[in-house]
Amino acid sequence: MTDRWTMLIVAVLSSLLPPAAVRLQAADDDVVVADIQEDPSVRQPHMVNLGTNFDANLFEQHGNGWVLRGDRGQSSPAESPALARSRALGRHQLERIESACGITPEQRQRLLLAMESDIRRFAAEVERVREQYLGREINMNVPAGQKQWLAFQQDVRRCRDRMRSIFKEGSLFDTVKSSILDERQRDCLTAEAAARRSFHWRVMVLEALVRLDDALGLDQSQHDLIRDALLEREPALRIDSESLGRDDPNLRRNLVLMVLAGVDRSKLRAGLSPRQWQALAALMNQGRAMRSWIDQQGVLDELP
């Protein structure tokens, strides 16, 4: 009977544990001992693979947010992530130009060549940084690991800033674009950019005003007063797809409050009750305090 129970226990353990994790020990009383080994493929939460997290934080994050990804043994992509992302941004740029002003096949080809040159230069710069972190794992529970994480964040921020400016002023793409587009095309492109910027700013303002109406109890004239003051101070929003912050309502709200903090306070105060002004002034101070953080998000070409 004892042998039958021993065989049954062995069968159950063998089905639940990896073969190397079970070691049977023969004893006089026929007791089965399971020696369970730690699976080396299971990562501890405080261990961070910087190579995996470099790609995730540079190519998957908008604005200036951060994520921590576990190392799941992912294989290297067939194409450099820097090349893939920058080419997607390039296609977006070219589509905007074609839609706004129309270009000839020759102009398009020249823009594509200039764009590819900028893309390869950017990818080479990013890959030099990325290679420093491939296979590099840190312990976030110790000061040395925390220091390396901060250095990693600084490197990623620099790469993010570079990615946002691939096709901006100083790039070969921007130089060629300025030289091959005629005056009509340049005017159309400028007007299209201004219209898109104004549209996105108006959406942000109206969204923020809904919350202000609820918080302050504004009447129509007060609503119009704040709305007009904000629309008159339209900031230099970046209008590329990577920097609008459309998915971050907190960023949009704080951006509006920051701009509102620069409005003539006497004019606003005169149109509000003492209670309303006290509440609005506190929100404006909050927006002013967020100025440095907003600048880091890359949503503005320059601060107002």
Question: Stretch 70-85: mean pLDDT, rounded?
Answer: 70
Question: Residue 243's pLDDT band (boundaries 50, 70, 90)?
Answer: low
pLDDT for 62 equals: 63
pLDDT above 50 for 101 = yes
Average pLDDT, the chain: 82
pLDDT tens, position by position, 39-65: 344 456 678 889 888 988 888 776 667
44/141 Cα distance (integer angstroms): 11
pLDDT tens, position by position, 139-157: 988 999 999 999 999 999 8
Question: Residue 212's pLDDT band (boundaries 50, 70, 90)?
Answer: very high
Question: Residue 130's pLDDT band (boundaries 50, 70, 90)?
Answer: very high
| Least confident piece of the model among 54-68, 79-93, 217-231, 277-291 | 54-68
Question: Residue 280's pLDDT band (boundaries 50, 70, 90)?
Answer: very high
Question: Residue 28's pLDDT band (boundaries 50, 70, 90)?
Answer: very low
The domain limits of the chain are 1-42, 47-180, 183-296
pTM for this prediction? 0.70
pLDDT above 50 for 33 = no
236/113 Cα distance (integer angstroms): 29
Question: Stretch 278-297: mean pLDDT, rounded?
Answer: 91
Percent of the chain with pLDDT over 70: 79
pLDDT for 64 equals: 67
Question: Stretch 283-304: mean pLDDT, rounded?
Answer: 86
Question: Stretch 16-45: mean pLDDT, rounded?
Answer: 42
The region that residue 63 occupies, defined by phi over 0 for left and psi between -120 and 50 for alpha, beta otherwise, is left
pLDDT above 50 for 120 = yes
One DSSP character per residue, the chain reads -HHHHHHHHHHHHHHHS-GGG------TT------PPP-TTSPPTTEEEHHHHHHHHHHS--TT---------PPPPSS-HHHHHHHHHHHHHHHHHHHHH---HHHHHHHHHHHHHHHHHHHHHHHHHHHTTTT-EEETTSHHHHHHHHHHHHHHHHHHHHHHTTTSTTSHHHHHHHHHS-HHHHHHHHHHHHHHHHHHHHHHHHHHHHHHHHHH---HHHHHHHHHHHHTT---B--STTSS-TT-HHHHHHHHHHHHTTS-HHHHHHTS-HHHHHHHHHHHHHHHHTHHHHHHTT-BSS--
Question: Stretch 288-292: mean pLDDT, rounded?
Answer: 92
pLDDT tens, position by position, 157-201: 899 889 888 998 889 999 999 999 999 999 999 999 999 999 999
